[in-house]
Structure 1
Amino acid sequence: MIRIPKLKFGGLFFFILLIASSSCKKNIGSTKTAELKDSVEVKAPSMEAPEGMVWIPGGNFVQGAVTNDKMAMSHERPAHRVSVDGFFMDEHEVTNAQFAEFVKETGYVTVAERKIDWEEMKKQLPEGTPKPHDSILQPGSLVFKKTKSSVPNLYDYSQWWEWRIGADWSHPSGPNSSIDGKENDPVVHIALEDALAYCKWAGRRLPTEAEWEYAARAGKTDALFFWGDDIDVLQNYANSWEGEFPVNNSQEDGYERLAPVMSYPKNDFGLYDMAGNVWEWTNDWYNSNYYTELANKNETTKNPKGATKAFNASNPYAIEKVIKGGSFLCSASYCASYRISARMATSPDSGMEHLGFRTVLSP
């Protein structure tokens, strides 16, 4: 059974007060990619692919930033050798329509829709943290907002994130919005607990970080992106931010915010939207030391499950999971996370307008 963390409110509170994340700092690492060619096992699964899923044959690959990636962040290094068994994976991100079916059958209420319990929240915060005003402690989620002018400091995320009461998966922009006509958009404002509940209902699980990255790479050794190395064709392959972030999106890719799933070409494994559109949950704890620990073993790690506990060197209070794939907000000036090795850490108790998920199944 996938572990559901006990922390359900602390990260949410930090989002409300700070509207910040710790992962898009543009530090350039220097570790070179390990010398190992990717290999894919041509092995048929023991069952037919469930509807909407594709078979990902197992194999070896180098996880982490490739040698020629000038945009890589330090936490994408050092690269290390990994082997994964074959698995089935959703060909696209879970959609509003799919999530709505789950909610209809189970009556499930997402984290963003639940009343906030201050007594429970404060147990997980530094002692003496003052209680916010009741007008703030209301169910809601983080919604992106464009700025009116250029932003000189791209580390101050509060400039383009707004805590909006009433924002949730069925009201993605706030209480007056809906998902009518957006049934094929990826579902967003999904906390980890919500994704795990859907997985349990569907008989699936979340991918490990290694599985996700292996599936995104699809055998393309040393490629920056799932389509190759050409950044000039980005708008043809991913929903990202073109223009000056976060002021103006020129929409060269056809969309300003979310795009319906399968709007762009699939990768060589038959997977859509493995770059841009929405970030996707994995089951791995984010730990600043984990990649170094694997690399120091100097051997191929078989089916890594991630760190045993969360740790973020830049934020000792953070309890975070790894998310992958980038979103419609990613731009060359702001973390460029449409790259295969890109990763980010986020609190498991919080959803956002650019965070969704897809599921996997082991045969």
Structure 2
Amino acid sequence: MSDRGHEVVTLDGGEFVMGSDDHYPEEAPTHRVRVSGFGVDRFEVTNRQYRAFVAATGYVTVAERPLDPADYPGAPPENLVPGSLVFTPTPGPVDLRHLSQWWTWVPGASWQHPYGPTSSIDELLDHPVVHVAHDDAAAYAEWAGARLPTEAEWEFAARGGLERAAFTWGDESRPGGSLMANTWDGLDFPWRSTGESGYLRTAPVGSFPANGFGLHDMAGNVWEWTDDWWTSAHPDDADKPCCVPTDPRGGDVEASFDPAQPQFRVPRKVIKGGSHLCADSYCLRYRPAARRPQMIDTGMSHVGFRCAWDTDKETST
């Protein structure tokens, strides 16, 4: 247990097969990597923990900061208000190619007001903090004496010792019919959930079974920030069987920009783990190999984080 109330699981590190050749193209190719020993939070950082950080430091998150009109030439002043993107279920089936249909920019939405300015975290203190941009997560981690994990560390931890398994618990999405993670219930995303899990949005951390390393919510609940710049694919080292990289990092910042949106010169980091919005019919990304890009200035109602810890301990949990 850290002095900031974190339960830290210490891992020896080791060699594993990273990525997947069987799912989305950005997860390929599979390749062996080695990570050194490190510590990782057993749970995602909660609203309770983030509130303590803000109370101690006075930190203001990106979603709460006033917008500079100079950064938005021509924008009406009434539109230049802080806020964030909130998941909004649709009234019926929609074209799943256009995610703007279920995401709404909500002025006043932030980690303290996850659904908008009239909402509160008072009943959500043990839920993962959301609406945190990369800087917000990194600032908390530094205050706690930790850091954000690399993508390789995160995936190693999520696999829980299961080599090449599709999920953090094995190869079946529902072993024995059991729900193993807080993901979208049913196939009718984003308009109708069966409610089977009991949660339409986030769940209290630790509500679902831990993986083989004793880590909870490495699948579903919220996407989690890593500290690696986004790359569109893993490095192809199939012709280098002799060389297993140790503690690899992502690409460079320039390669992380979105070529499809040249107007947005905001670099992107890798997020991992999927969220409560992952549906088998739409986003089968609640898997260790799954990865997505996220602009570093953008928090959303399904993005959070957990901390990694440098350690010289030799025992694993």
* Aligned counterpart, 2:304: 356
Kindly provide the CA deviation profile for residues 95-138 of structure 1, in whole angstroms up to 9, marking residues without a partner as x.
0000000000001111111101131x35xxxxxxx532222221
Q: Decide whether the 8 Å contact of 2:228 with 2:269 is kept in 1.
A: yes
Equivalent in the alignment of 2:225: 281
Deviating more after overlay: 133-142 vs 261-270: 133-142
Percent identity reads 50
Residues 314 and 287 (structure 1), Cα distance of their counterparts in 2 relative to 1, 3 Å cut: farther
- Give the TM-score normalised by the residue count of structure 2: 0.91
Q: Which amino acid aligns with 2:251?
A: A
- 1:25-62 Cα offsets, whole Å, 9 max, x none, are xxxxxxxxxxxxxxxxxxxxxxx877511112210001
* Deviation readout 1:271-299 (Å, 9 max, x if unpaired): 0000000000000000225x135556542
Matches within 5 A, 1:41-120: 51-65=6-20, 67=21, 69=22, 72-119=23-70
Taking the aligned partners of 2:115 and 2:226, their CA distance within structure 1 comes to 24
Bigger mean CA deviation after superposition, 166-175 or 304-313: 304-313
Q: 2:133 matched to 1:191?
A: yes
Partner of 1:344: 292
> What is the aligned partner in structure 1 of residue 314 from structure 2?
none
CA distance in 2, matches of 1:142, 1:91: 27
* 8 Å CA contact retained: 2:29, 2:236: no
Q: Secondary structure at the match of 2:270?
A: strand
The partner residue of 1:236 within 150, 159, 179 is 179
Q: 2:315 aligns to what?
A: none
Q: Would the aligned equivalents of 1:235 and 1:253 in 2 still touch at CA under 8 Å? A: no
Give the number of aligned pairs: 302
State the partner residue of 1:248. 192
- C-alpha separation in 2, matches of 1:295 and 1:134: 53
Q: Which residue does 1:44 correspond to in 2?
A: none
Q: Is the 8 A contact 2:85 2:105 kept in 1?
A: yes
In structure 2, what is the Cα distance between the partners aligned to 1:297 and 1:115? 50
CA–CA distance in structure 1, aligned partners of residues 157 and 25 of structure 2: 22
- 2:207 corresponds, among 239, 263, 266, to 263
Give, in angstroms, the shift of residue 235 of structure 1.
Answer: 5.6
- Distance in 2 of aligned mates of 1:256 and 1:210: 30
- 1: distance between equivalents of 2:102 and 2:210? 30
- What CA deviation, in whole Å up to 9, does each residue of 1:244-268 have, x standing for no partner? 0001111212211110000001011
CA contact (8 A) 2:92 2:192 kept: no
Question: What is the alpha-carbon distance in structure 2 between the residues aligned to residue 339 and residue 55 of structure 1?
Answer: 22
Distance in structure 1 (CA, Å) of the matches to 2:240 and 2:45:
36
Q: Give the Cα–Cα distance (whole angstroms) in 2 for the partners of residues 322 and 294 of structure 1.
A: 20
Say if 2:266 and 2:297, in contact at 8 Å, map to a contact too. no
Whether the 8 Å CA contact 1:82–1:303 is kept in 2: the answer is yes
Change (3 A) 1:99 1:79: same
Q: Provide the alpha-carbon RMSD of the alignment.
A: 1.8
What's 2:166 paired with? Answer: 224
Distance, in Å, in 1 between the alignment partners of 2:61 and 2:248 is 29
Partners of 2:240 and 2:227 lie apart in 1 by 22
Q: Following the alignment from structure 2 to structure 1, what is the Cα–Cα distance between the partners of residues 297 and 2?
A: 32
76-85 vs 333-342, which moves further: 333-342
In the alignment, residue 288 of structure 2 is paired with which amino acid? I
Partners of 2:69 and 2:75 within 8 A in 1? no
Deviations 1:180-222 (A, max 9, x none): 1211000000001111110111110000000000000011012
Q: Residues 297 and 313 (structure 1 numbering): CA distance in 2 closer, same or farther, change over 3 Å?
A: farther
